[in-house]
Structures are given as C-alpha cells and as structure tokens.
Amino acid sequence: RPLGIAVVGTGRMGADHVRRIDRVISGARVTAVVDIDAERAEAVAAGVDGCTAHTDPAAAMAAADVDAVLVASPGPAHEAALLTAFEHDLPVLCEKPLTPDAASALRVMEAEAALGHRRVQVGFMRRYDTEYVRLKALLETGRLGRPLMLHNRHRNVASPPFFTSSMLISDSVAHEVDATRWLLGHEITAVTVLRPTRSAGAPEGLRDPQFVVLETDGGALSDVEIFVNCGFGYQVQAEVVCELGTARIGDGHALVTTMAGRWGGTVAQDWTERFAQAYDDEVQAWVDTTRRGEVTGPSTWDGYAAAAVCEAGVRALEDGRRVAVDLVERPPLYR
Ligand code: ISE
C-alpha cells in the first residue's frame, strides 16, 4: 500500500508538499495534516481524499494510517515534532533548518542515536537539483583538480515581514552551508560576515545584503552573497574554482530568446519555481527509500553541522569578527 504521510505545518512549504505528494509523486498519500491553525489544516485536508486535520502533531502521528512524517512547520517547532516522531519510531523528512541552533540539533541527534538507527532526512533540496548534482559529479571525477574556492550568490525578490538580519544566515545561507559541505566534502571551521551598505530596498533595520566567508578544513574558501530584497528575482548561482579549471551553475540559460535586437530569458521569482524539480525528486527519493526501509540523503549530522555553522555566522554578524565553528565528534551512526 502507499506510504501514509502526516504533514506537520500547512504553511507555504507544507501546502506545496501536500500538493506534491497528492498529485506529482508516486507511492505515497497524505493521510493527515497538522497545523496550530485548525482552519488552515482543515482547508488543506479538504482538498485531499481520506486526509484528516489535526492541531496536535502527537495525535496525527498516533493514527493507524500514518507511516511517515514530513515536518514543514517553522524551525523552532521542529525539535518537538522530531522527538514525537522518534517516540513512534517514524521516518521523517524534516524541512531545513533541522532546528534553529546547535544545542537543539544536538538533542535531536542524541535522541536519534538512542534509537540506534537513522530516521531523519533533512530537507536540503539543493542536493537533488540536477545542476548541483552535475557539479558534484564533475568534482568527484577529479578532472578539475582540488577545489580552492566556491563563490555563491543567493538572491530573493523580497524578504517576508518576519525576517530578521540573523535569518539571512540561519534561514538563507544555511543552504550554502550545506551545499559547501556536500560539494567539497569538507567541514566548515570558521565564519566571517562582512556588511556592505544596506540596500534602500531592504525593510527598515534589516541588514541586507551580507557577504559571508566560510573557511573549510580542506583549506578551501566559500563566499556567499546573500541579498534577500534584490527585487528582480530568485537567483542561486555557484562557481567552483579548482586547480585545473572552474565549473559554474545557476545561470538560468535553459531558455534563451532572441527578438527585436535583444537576447535574454526570464528569472525565476521564488524557490518553489527554481527548485521545483529538486523538491519533486527529493520527496520521491524519500518515499522510495522509506518504503524500502532505508534512510538516505542529508542526515541529522548534516542538519546539526549546518546549525552550528549558522550559529557561529550569527555571532560573526553581531560581533563583526571571525568566529570559529566548534563541532562535537561525529557519532558512529553518521560516519
Ligand atoms: C527560505 O526559507 C528558503 O529556504 C529559500 O530557499 C531561501 O532562498 C530563502 O532565503 C529562505 O528564506
């Protein structure tokens, strides 16, 4: 029978995942949705055959037709949802960030390690994006030699009203933190955050843009321009500079038009558009591996490492200095 999934959180990402499970991917169905806003949960459940609405994640996870959990609530609510899923020993796809800080991520990692097996895949969807996958495969051939530098650009049209200066790091640069670790196979050892003049397009008080420099234990540097009120579109670009050459993704050249003396294309407007293929493949891969009783993809260790790096990044932003990242020893379960 199809995998029965409880989706926790029916905001923007949660509702998009419900649509994806219901209409795009195969082998799964949404059997329960959870939201602190009962009306919102009911509205989403009403659109899916046989789906029940809940306000309490524990009640949804106890239901007989729930085999797995997709957590898409805000970051601060993830720890409680994950620990409840562990009580029922249910597999979880947890949207990023795993949790908002290193201490809570560590508690989650210890609870999973106590189960004795992996249960969590973290929603770092860029690992499923065809461009990122090709870049990683190329780096792994060794044809470019050792990676020395990674240049990242991450731009959003506009930030939501609740966005704070530290969220540019913990919510947005979190993706480049994971992409850097995954692409290079290095851990990040220190973070520096530089702050250019605030854009007049940024909401009052928001430090936007920021320029983040990540140092790795493999001797590479990864820099990130994060600009969440650029106004013109959603852009994610990366260029790796290696000893023997460079490789770059995210130029959006899939469709180029020439007309009336000009050439050009369009720019995506948000992540659900730019990373649609990545999200579809990520959730399909999670469903397929879960039905086989396996857990793959970004792990709780990856979620913890990203949280620890982002926490150092937020301190670097506040203090205006380089902050070293202090990771615990990697538990055997994640080696
Ligand atoms: C958002 O939470 C995401 O995950 C997006 O991918 C990112 O571009 C955006 O800046 C974040 O706020």
275 CA closest ligand 1 atom index: 6
Cβ of residue 228 lying under 6 Å from some atom of ligand 1: yes
Cβ of residue 271 lying under 6 Å from some atom of ligand 1: yes
Residues 145 and 221 in one domain: yes
Residues 35 and 135 in one domain: no
Residues 230 and 152 in one domain: yes
For residue 52, give the CATH number of its domain. 3.40.50.720
The amino acid that residue 20 corresponds to is R
Residues 149 and 261 in one domain: yes
For residue 163, give the CATH number of its domain. 3.30.360.10
The pLDDT value given to residue 254: 86
Residues 166 and 30 in one domain: no
Contacts 24+ apart (CB under 8 A), 156-161: 156/227, 156/228, 156/229, 156/230, 156/234, 156/270, 157/229, 157/230, 157/231, 157/232, 157/233, 157/234, 157/269, 157/270, 158/228, 158/229, 158/231, 159/202, 159/203, 159/206, 159/208, 159/228, 159/229, 161/203
Exposed e or buried b per residue across 249-276, where buried means at least 16 C-beta atoms within 10 angstroms of its C-beta: bbebeeeeeeeeeeeeeeebeebeebbb
Cβ of residue 13 lying under 6 Å from some atom of ligand 1: no
Residues 95 and 166 in one domain: no
Instruction: Collect the ranges in the chain with pLDDT lower than 70.
Output: none
Residues 197 and 91 in one domain: no
Question: pLDDT by residue (tens digit) across 262-317?
Answer: 999 999 999 999 999 999 999 999 999 999 999 999 999 999 999 999 999 999 99
Torsion sign, CA atoms 36, 62, 52, 26: positive
Distance (angstroms) between ligand 1 centre and the Cα of 334 equals 26
Cβ of residue 156 lying under 6 Å from some atom of ligand 1: yes
Residues 163 and 287 in one domain: no
Residues 259 and 138 in one domain: yes
Instruction: Specify the pTM.
Output: 0.97
Kindly report the number of other CB atoms within 10 A of residue 116's CB atom: 7
| Structural domain containing residue 18 | 3-126+277-298
226 CA closest ligand 1 atom index: 10
Cβ of residue 171 lying under 6 Å from some atom of ligand 1: yes
In total, how many domains does the chain have?
A: 2
Residues 116 and 153 in one domain: no
**Helices and strands (H, E) in the chain, number of each type:** 11, 15
Residues 99 and 153 in one domain: no
The pLDDT value given to residue 186: 98
ipTM greater than cut 0.90: yes
163 CA closest ligand 1 atom index: 12
The pLDDT value given to residue 253: 87
Residues 188 and 330 in one domain: yes
Nearest CA to ligand 1 atom 11: 172
